[in-house]
Amino acid sequence: MIDLEDETMTLAWQLKALPYKERRNPASGFRVPRGFESRPIEGAFHLVRPKTRAGTRVIPLAPRLAAELRTWKGQCDSPHGLVWPREDGSPRSAEFDRGQWYALVDEAGILVTLPDGTTRRPLLYEARHTAATMLLSGGVDETTIKAILGHSSVLSTQSYLHTDRTRTRAALATSAELLGL
């Protein structure tokens, strides 16, 4: 649901592989929770609605992303209207996405340092925390960050926002200046 003319992306559905009612038995149908809206795509892949109404949102595309998507549109075709399908137009799995993510972080040499000093590769989901923190560092207000992340409450968003020493030092310097210190 990308509008390249308006340079927006509508997030109203997400791709998800639903489990079969009986393990490894496609003929058994799919386990779909009550009230869960889904549209079958191919095999176990379905389009499903976000968890909350706030999850459905329209987000403006950054100019560079809009340009890249214009180029990509002519190179890839999916009978399902997917933006990043496999070469044959079928859905890509979450495992494939994770593999691509790990290849990117390995190439960039990014590691997360844990409290005990050990390191690990960052999880794909943690990129949301990084994006939220970068938006905050860039001066974006919490209400706008909430809208971008698709949270129903700013309280949910706050768990994604992390500060750093630079922001903390600047805040304390401002306070000291206000106090005439």
**123-148 residue pLDDT tens:** 988 888 888 888 888 888 888 888 88
Give CA–CA dist 68/66, Å, rounded: 6
Distances (CA, A) of 5 to 77, 99, 119, 130: 18, 32, 43, 29
The structure's pTM equals 0.70
pLDDT of 74 above 80: no
CA torsion sign for 68, 72, 74, 75 is positive
Residue 2 has φ and ψ, to the nearest 5°, of -110, 130
pLDDT of residue 104: 95
**38-72 residue pLDDT tens:** 899 999 999 998 877 777 888 899 999 999 999 88
Going through 24-143 in order, the beta strands assigned E by DSSP cover 38-42, 45-48, 57-60, 112-113, 119-120
Q: How confident is the model at residue 181 (pLDDT cuts 50, 70, 90)?
A: confident
Specify the amino acid at residue 161. L
